């Protein structure tokens, strides 16, 4: 997971922020996202220092978001903080969670499943 995240977001802070802004651009405005537009955006935000400035630049470049700017700022900041936490997380393979597991079964079956959901295989 960490290798996949590093591959998709970059290995240093600047690459991480730039790739995340470009991914957000693609998610928010998929019809306006061309290779030229993404390259132009990447060049423009590389000059900016803080995450907030980069996010503000992205939102200012998309006029359709004028009414929802604060919402997208909050979403962008939340995504950034969570991905940064995932990128910095170190999992200890030797530690295991020691807690009981409870399988819940619904009263009405939509899909046929084995009694133990196939976990005994």
Q: Is residue 16 part of a domain?
A: yes
Give the residue, 107 or 27, on which the prediction is more confident: 27
Q: Could you tell me if residue 24 is inside a domain?
A: yes
Q: Is residue 15 part of a domain?
A: yes
According to the model, what pLDDT value does residue 110 have? 66
Cβ neighbours of residue 117 closer than 8 Å, sequence gap 6 or more: 103
Structure letter (DSSP) for residue 120: T
Provide the number of structural domains found in the chain: 1
Domain membership flag for residue 113: no
Contact present, 26 and 33 (Cβ < 8 Å) = yes
Q: Do the domain assignments include residue 110?
A: no
Q: Quick check: is 76 in a domain?
A: yes
DSSP per-residue string spanning 43-102: HHHHT--SHHHHHHHHHHT-GGGGGGHHHHHHHHHHHHHHHHHHHH----TT--------
pLDDT band at residue 40, thresholds of 50, 70 and 90? very high
For the segment 41-93, what is each residue's pLDDT rounded down to a tens digit?
Answer: 999 998 998 989 999 998 888 877 778 888 888 999 999 999 888 877 787 77
């Amino acid at each position: 997971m960490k290798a996949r995240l590093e591959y998709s977001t970059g290995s240093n802070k600047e690459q991480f922020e730039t790739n995340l802004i470009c991914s957000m651009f693609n998610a928010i405005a998929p019809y306006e996202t061309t290779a030229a537009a993404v390259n132009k955006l990447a060049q423009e935000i590389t000059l900016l220092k803080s995450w907030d400035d980069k996010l503000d630049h992205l939102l200012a470049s998309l006029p359709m978001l004028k009414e929802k700017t604060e919402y997208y700022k909050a979403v962008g900041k939340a995504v950034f903080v969570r991905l940064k936490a995932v990128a910095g997380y170190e999992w200890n393979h030797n530690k295991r969670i020691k807690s009981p597991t409870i399988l819940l079964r619904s009263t009405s079956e939509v899909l046929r499943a084995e009694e133990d959901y196939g976990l005994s295989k």
